[in-house]
């Protein structure tokens, strides 16, 4: 797995957890500006997820590292992203661009974290699509419920 230094979100929570994982997926970007990316092609995506909080759960975890990975990896590994119900080929805000994929991942993760009594928060999704291209998604305050 690629090791690298990530941008760090500013916060004052006691704990910050980071989970790295990778998955393989195919996609296409259904717009003429996407050039060759209009055609179906694949990537090994590399993700780094940052979760923060002040309280640990009964296991002594902020959240289980594996739970963070599973939320994304089980759903998207070896899939065509465009076929997932999260995406919509008719709406640019929901095309599986790196930007939108990173935002959708945040939504999936935070929705799950909202169910936990210790209320962890996902502050950053770093998503690398190619060796030379990545996106960092950071939610605004109003994105949290």
Ligand X SMILES: Nc1nc2c(c(=O)[nH]1)N=C([C@H](O)[C@H](O)COP(=O)(O)OP(=O)(O)OP(=O)(O)O)CN2
Residues in CB range of 42: below 8 A, 6 or more apart: 24, 25, 26, 27
Cα separation, 81 vs 70, whole angstroms? 16
Q: Please pick, among 55, 78, 83, 111, the residue that the annotation labels catalytic.
A: 78
Reported for 92-98, long-range contacts at CB under 8 A and 24+ positions apart, including other chains, are 92/31, 95/29, 95/30, 95/31, 96/27, 96/28, 96/29, 97/29, 98/127, 98/129, 98/133, 98/134, 98/135
Nearer to ligand X, 14 or 34 (CB): 34
d(C-alpha 64, C-alpha 82), whole Å: 28
Catalytic site residue 122? no
Q: Assess whether 37 carries a catalytic annotation.
A: yes
76 binds ligand X (CB under 6 A): no
Binding mask 22-61 for Zn ion (x = CB under 5 A): ---------------x------------------------
Nearer to ligand X, 60 or 131 (CB): 131
Question: Which listed residue (3, 12, 59, 132) binds ligand X by CB under 6 A?
Answer: 132
Among 21, 23, 29, 134, binds ligand X (CB under 6 A): 29
Least CB distance from residue 144 to ligand X, whole Å?
25
58 counts as catalytic:
no
SS3 (DSSP) at 102: helix
Active site residues: 37, 78, 129
Residues that bind ligand X (CB under 6 A): 29, 37, 97-99, 129-130, 132-133
């Amino acid at each position: 797995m690629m090791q690298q230094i990530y941008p760090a979100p500013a916060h004052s929570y006691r704990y910050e957890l980071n989970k790295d994982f990778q998955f393989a997926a195919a996609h296409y970007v259904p717009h003429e500006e996407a050039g060759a990316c209009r055609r179906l092609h694949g990537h090994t995506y590399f993700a780094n997820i940052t979760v923060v909080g002040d309280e640990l759960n009964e296991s002594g975890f902020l959240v289980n590292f594996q739970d963070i990975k599973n939320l994304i990896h089980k759903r998207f590994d070896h899939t065509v992203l465009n076929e997932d119900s999260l995406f919509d080929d008719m709406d640019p805000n929901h095309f599986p661009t790196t930007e939108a994929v990173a935002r959708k991942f945040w939504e999936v993760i935070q929705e799950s974290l909202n169910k936990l009594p210790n209320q962890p928060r996902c502050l950053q999704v770093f998503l690398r699509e190619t060796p030379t291209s990545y996106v960092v998604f950071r939610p605004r305050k109003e994105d949290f419920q």
